[in-house]
Structure 1
Amino acid sequence: MKWVSLAAWITALIGGTISFFASAVTVTDSQGEFTLETVPSRIVALEFSFVDALAAVDVSPVGIADDNDPSRILPAVRKKLAAWQSVGTRSQPSLEVIASLKPDLIIADVDRHSAVYRDLTKIAPTLLLPSRRETYQDNLRSAAIIGKVIGKAQQMATRLKQHDQLMQHYAQQLTSLRGQSVQFGVARENGFYAHASDSYAGGVIAALGLASPAMLKHENASRQISLEQLLALNPDYLIVGDYTANTIVDQWKKQPLWQVLNAVRNQHVVSVDGNMWARCRGILAAEYMAADLVNLVQLP
């Protein structure tokens, strides 16, 4: 009887070991090789794009750096999430609150969180990926990595394929804009920040078969420009993401140079939600932007 029990124990041990190794996964993140030995169940996400990726495969993080404002998270993402604990702002998340949640995975942004990376790893395994200054293609690659780490590789691959098909569908609805330049920028009270083709928004625009003005190529993801510089770009379509009620664009509209812009003369200035277009990045965010553009642009 003792032998049978011992055999059963060994069998269980071997089975558990096989299961253990089967669930272990290794990926390459911004820090190098990252290995997680079990599928995480308590995840803390420190950027909106990571929350988007999780929501895309129906996974809810227990903690989110939501800037202490849940409304900043894309509504389509919020609908897919269970209740979460805010861990503060994306720029300065609370390590104390993160630790209190006892996470088994933290997903952090290489741009914002490299300085506290070691502190985060003391709390839980920390996956470091680009978010703040990522491109659209970077974002899709990060989503695939997240899917693998959380044990949803196949589901994420399927969702990414659906995303590509949906973006092609939206692109077909915008074919009449081919050959015309589309410039997105964020309007704040004291500045207008144009997003280059290498930015996240610029990448979404490119995925829709459209082009941003070439003069901003190889610049930072976004940079502040003057009305004169905007006139030099002179896009056919201007998409303005407002961050506040009264922005610098409201001041520009009173100046003669504003009326010279092609987009203004042809009534091709489109106002969008700056938070959703600039802060929110991800699979669901890109689909929102595409649908928003199709709905707002007045096609010939």
Structure 2
Amino acid sequence: MSDSNTTNFTNPSTFILLGIPGLEAAQVWISIPFCTMYVIAILGNFIILFIVKTEPSLHGPMYYFLCMLSITDLVLCTCTIPKMLSIFWFNSREIDFSACLTQMFFIHCFFAMESGIFLAMAFDRYVAICDPLRHSTALRNHVVAKIGLAVMLRGSIFALPCPLLERQWPYCRTSIIPHTCCEHIAVVNLACADIRISSYYGLTVANLVICLDMFFIAVSYTQILRAIFRLPTKDARLKTFGTCGSHLCAILAFYIPGLFSVLTYWFGHHVALHFHVLFANVCLLVPPMLNPIIFGVRTKQIRDRLLRLFTHKGT
């Protein structure tokens, strides 16, 4: 397909992913940190899954939710980063129209799923701290499985209309997407039709899901902090709050970049396009890289099992 900006078509077979507009000459160098972070994310999340699977003492609700988070992170970064690297290294810019819509679905679905898993983890911490006697009965394995299924279905239901709407639009402006992946707004802007429904749906649902999850997480932690401050000793308060430390760090690593990205989209009209694209990739890659590091370093059971694993290999 031609790279022309004036290609006329209504039923595209392929799109052209431009990469990072304005930074084409530096893309090979930019790929180095992105590739490094991707490798760390893949290795770290697989290690988390292996440790939880092989350590019977970790077969509990908190660690099952952690496994869900690791699987979500693996899918979220793998559906975008390999294609981005192929653009940077091999100039492989073409992406099939159906593959583009599939990638869009996976990005939005698993982003919503990750937010939902953080909410489920906050609920787990709430029950464990505020009602510890009921924790083992309230969050049995079948309940955890139902929560995981609900999170997956919610993400799928909210994400599915986006590619379905995109499939209906005629595309006659250009075949070039100024991005490294098939991000929703970047694809919507190529349509030569009234795209307000699709645009408003994508933005409204994304913001609604994230804001509702953040609200309920805040409510959970308000109750958790009230329970912690009622503990009789400082050591007990610190020890109990320490069980939430890794979860809080992971929440901050996920929501702060996401909120900043939304704010720059709404209010950063004078921000360079390459910054928007770079930061969108950071939002998709940094949390999957940091989550296994955060939980591995701050969770004693995982840290001890990891040390035993490497110690045994070294002997």
TM-score over 0.5 for the pair: no
Larger radius of gyration: 1
- Give the strand-richer structure, 1 or 2: 1
- Give the helix-richer structure, 1 or 2: 2
Normalised TM-score (structure 1): 0.26
Normalised TM-score (structure 2): 0.25
Asked which structure has the greater RCO (Cα within 8 Å, sep 6+), the reply is 2
